[in-house]
Amino acid sequence: MSFDFDNMYCGAIHRGDIILFFEDGKTQECPAVVVQDDALNQGLPTVICAKIEPYQKGDDVFVNEVLLPKEETGLGKDSICMLHKLETIERVQIVAKKAELPEETIQRIYHAVDITLGRFRDRV
């Protein structure tokens, strides 16, 4: 796949940002939430993110997922942040930043990551 570097997103990336990126071998943009720490976002050529999929009314939202209202995402429809679908992407794959999630939603994402990684078992 060749990228149009003139259209690549060159701005700062922060934890809690909704981004669009191109997956290897695909031509459609994929939405994701940046979950990587900001200190790493400033210096690494990669970003760890959680994929976002469309939410259909009646879909189950599991404990390792977070429902994202369309008003928060800039995606035009309600979505589910899939914390069991973490992916490391190259920064050059990012084409746009759509939104910055509010702190309350970011905290729900942290909780879902803890469940995905089993960190809730580590608490004393």
pLDDT for the residue 26: 79
pLDDT for the residue 9: 66
From the list 18, 14, 13, 12, the residue with the least C-alpha distance to 81 is: 18
pLDDT for the residue 1: 43
User: Please, are residues 52 and 33 in contact by the beta-carbon 8 Å criterion?
Assistant: yes
pLDDT tens string for the chain (124 positions)? Answer: 444 555 556 688 999 999 999 987 777 899 999 999 999 988 889 999 999 999 999 999 999 999 999 999 999 999 999 999 999 999 989 999 999 999 999 999 999 999 998 887 776 6
Q: Which domains, from first to last, does the chain contain?
A: 5-119 (2.30.30.110)
pLDDT for the residue 66: 97
